[in-house]
Amino acid sequence: MREYLPAYYERNAEKLKARSSQYAKDNPDKTRAWGHTRRARLLGLPGSFTEADIRRLHARQRGRCFYCGGPDPHLQVDHKIPVTRAGSTNWPSNLCLACRPCNNGKKTKTAAEYVRHRLRRGLHCTRAALRTIG
């Protein structure tokens, strides 16, 4: 059996890649959740989330960025306490959805640090984001 699998994958590589690519296109939420969970598992973070958790976040935030409040059909999953920081988890309570400019601008800041950063520059923040700074 062990000898068969590598040979099968080698013979059917293109078909398997196409199937995997199509699955990712058809199931973007599942694919995104899987990728984030895998990365967190490799980093040794506790917790996990599912595509249903992402959908709940999307509904709670009404399809808007957690930080700036702008509507965006392609919101990204963001960890309020970044995975690069001690104390970070991969539980849904540590997640929010952010637009690409906010997620890229936040980098390794915590949610509270990023909100303060936005306020210093005179940028709008949502009420939910403002609650992160107390």
pLDDT, tens only, 36-53: 788 888 888 899 888 899
The per-residue pLDDT for range 5-33, each reduced to its tens digit, is: 888 888 999 999 999 999 999 988 788 77
**Mean of per-residue pLDDT scores for the chain:** 91
**For residue range 56-98, what is the model confidence (pLDDT) as tens digits?**
999 999 999 999 999 999 999 999 999 888 888 999 999 999 9
Look up the CATH number of the domain holding residue 103: 3.30.40
The model carries a pTM of 0.76
Q: With CA atoms as reference, report the closest residue to 101 among 66, 128, 126.
A: 66
Yes or no: say if 97 and 62 are a contact pair by the CB < 8 Å rule: no
Quote the domain boundaries for residue 99. Answer: 4-133
Domain count, the chain: 1
